[in-house]
Structure 1
Amino acid sequence: MAEKSKVLVIGVTALIGKFIVEASAKSGHPTFAVVGKCAPSSLVQGFTGLGVHVVQGDISINHPETLLNAVRQVDVVISTVETPLEVLYMTVAAITTVGNIKRFLPSVFGSDVDRAHAVEPARTFYAAFYTDIRRLVEEEGIPYTFVSCNFLAGWHHSTLAQPGATAPSRDKVVILGDGNAKVVFNREDDIGTYTIKAVDDPRTLNKILFIRPPANTSSMNDLVSLWERKIGKTLERVYIPEEQVLKKIQGAESPKDLELAMLHSIFVKGDQTNFEIEPWFGVEASELYPDVKYTTVAEYLDQFV
């Protein structure tokens, strides 16, 4: 059996960072995690208990040595850093300088922005934080896997994608567009599992790994109907036509306008699923790894009934 790659995770306090660290350690990869001074002690203790090599130090333009020294120790770098943007460019520079990295999985988790039909300000945001990084990695000739994990269940699914909610509604739900666009919800630990399975897989080299399991792909109308059956109650559905959504985006202040523009891309334009995954650019995770028992939409909602 081939030796498992040494994995470095940057951005462990981000939405999915810790799940990737845990999946890496549990799967037997020698795992390194850059942890800043402000990280919760419970997070550090949890990593240590899993045998993770904790690299203490903040990553900033003033302290590039932290990142550079960490990259020198590993084979694979995974970044879930959300901000600042300079950290992404620092990571690419460190990988290029060291020259020993077999695979880079940059901070492009989420929807596949190359196939999105986003309006402003999401279009500019996607270009700065996702598209430009993808093109830079390709231009530098860095071996990569871009992970398109789509929605995070804990952030969106547990609220029926209602901004500001803390639990699935039992009364009313607001739906952008006609509610028929297919969207994808994945549990965070499943995203971690699929991501780590891809790091040494030649089938995912220089490809996009789409995490789009069939049982987690549904329209908002279907999702609400499923929830209604589980709680035995019919919800009031308030539909907002696309024209009205666009007016709301134009009239909203930052960062609300960005959030609405992203939701428009996904729920109105269907940008998570309105394209076929062609072999020349991507692969689908649940097809590649049928042994993974992922949590389905229906199973996830059971905890809120």
Structure 2
Amino acid sequence: MAVETGVLILGSTGYIGKFVALAAAAESGVKAYALVSKATQAKPERAEVLQKLRSAGIQFLEGDINDHASLVAALKRVTVVISCVGFSAHNDQPKILEAAKEAGTITRFLPSDFAFALSKETIAAFGDVHPRFTLKEPTAEAANKSGIPYTFIWANLFGAYAEMALGRQMPMQNDEIDVYGTDKKIVAVDEGDIGRYTIKAALDPRAANKTVRLEPPRNAVTQSELIALCEKLRGKTYKKRDATAEMLVEEYKNSNEEVSFFACLRYAFWISGDHTQPKREGDLSTAELYPDLEYKSIEAILRP
């Protein structure tokens, strides 16, 4: 009888965490666990997702990222730990590595990143790095120092946010689109596919101490292609206005953190083309690692 690989997911009831947890449960040869606190179990709004995870066969272990003893006990049950915690807990992730070293069983750690790296061009345009992109730095430093093999996931654009990438102003209350007129491309990835790619990478020895970029080859589109697809699939015509990189820089400098974050993203998407920037040393692509893995097309992602 084959030995199952124990995989523990933290943040399994969060937006991307549930997709990763369900993918772990569906993966052959994996025993999926989720660290769930008493507080989370008591929240009525989490009841539906908890039941879905339970029905998928995921075993709940009671604990919390800030409860060292419970975290160590949970990690001793597995060899792979995947963090899917939200922004507010990103700076707590070095605690996972501390507990993993004490547990002594962990052969792979995947931190909660699920984004992409800003290019030098994007950072230079704004004169700094947006706070949401700096949150991962302490975890990356701790992972490099820990001696525990790690894998970072470069997820590009969550499928549910593909329409947001069009160029609509925040908040998105109308159908007006800012068109930047470049040939840069975004890469959209369905959330279920993010989960599947993540689990594949977590178990793949080739991905140890690497960044795995999720790149479904047919899901890379320019803004004009994305607009045309949305208009065709949604049966609407967007009102378009010519926009510039300078407008995004101005919006970034004169907006609150939430709005400035989206200005930064649009610059990275349509001005710098950060999704498809050249691979850095240590980057791997899912197009090469898992060429036969079926994925949801950009058309299916956008279809209402």
TM-score normalised by L of structure 2: 0.87
Q: Is the aligned partner of 1:147 residue 2:150?
A: no
Q: Give the corresponding residue for 2:114.
A: 109
Contact map agreement 2:6 2:79 (CA 8 A) in 1: yes
Q: Give the AA of the match of 1:145.
A: T
Q: Give the corresponding residue for 1:41.
A: 47
Equivalent of residue 218 in structure 1, options 196, 218, 221: 221
Equivalent of residue 133 in structure 2, options 126, 138, 145: 126
Q: Give the AA of the match of 2:296.
A: T
Q: Give the corresponding residue for 1:92.
A: 97
Q: Give the corresponding residue for 1:25.
A: 25
The answer for unaligned runs of 5 or more in structure 1 is none
After superposition, the Cα gap between the structure-2 partners of 1:248 and 1:160, relative to the gap in structure 1 and judged at 3 Å, is: closer
After superposition, the Cα gap between the structure-2 partners of 1:228 and 1:42, relative to the gap in structure 1 and judged at 3 Å, is: closer
Q: Report how far residue 120 of structure 1 moved.
A: 5.4
After superposition, the Cα gap between the structure-2 partners of 1:253 and 1:112, relative to the gap in structure 1 and judged at 3 Å, is: closer
Q: Report how far residue 212 of structure 1 moved.
A: 1.1
Q: Measure the CA separation in 2 of the matches of 1:247 and 1:220.
A: 21
Deviating runs (4+, > 6 A) in structure 1? none
Q: Report how far residue 106 of structure 1 moved.
A: 0.5
After superposition, the Cα gap between the structure-2 partners of 1:41 and 1:132, relative to the gap in structure 1 and judged at 3 Å, is: same
Q: Give the corresponding residue for 1:64.
A: 68
After superposition, the Cα gap between the structure-2 partners of 1:80 and 1:239, relative to the gap in structure 1 and judged at 3 Å, is: farther
Equivalent of residue 200 in structure 2, options 193, 197, 200: 197
Q: Report how far residue 43 of structure 1 moved.
A: 1.7
Q: Report how far residue 124 of structure 1 moved.
A: 4.4
Q: Give the corresponding residue for 2:286.
A: 285
Kindly tell me the number of residue pairs found equivalent between the two proteins.
294
Contact map agreement 2:156 2:189 (CA 8 A) in 1: yes
Q: Report how far residue 23 of structure 1 moved.
A: 0.4
Q: Report how far residue 159 of structure 1 moved.
A: 7.2
The answer for unaligned runs of 5 or more in structure 2 is none
Q: Decide which structure has greater helix share.
A: 2
Contact map agreement 2:162 2:302 (CA 8 A) in 1: no
Show CA shifts across 1:66-89 (max 9, x none). Answer: 222211211001001122234212
Which aligned pairs between 1:222-261 and structure 2 lie closer than 5 A? 222-231=225-234, 234-261=237-264
Name whichever of 203-212 and 178-187 sits farther off: 178-187
Q: Measure the CA separation in 1 of the matches of 2:36 and 2:127.
A: 34
Q: Give the corresponding residue for 1:272.
A: 275
Contact map agreement 1:44 1:54 (CA 8 A) in 2: no
TM-score normalised by L of structure 1: 0.87
Q: Give the corresponding residue for 1:54.
A: 60
Identity %: 28
Contact map agreement 2:119 2:274 (CA 8 A) in 1: no
Q: Give the AA of the match of 2:11.
A: G
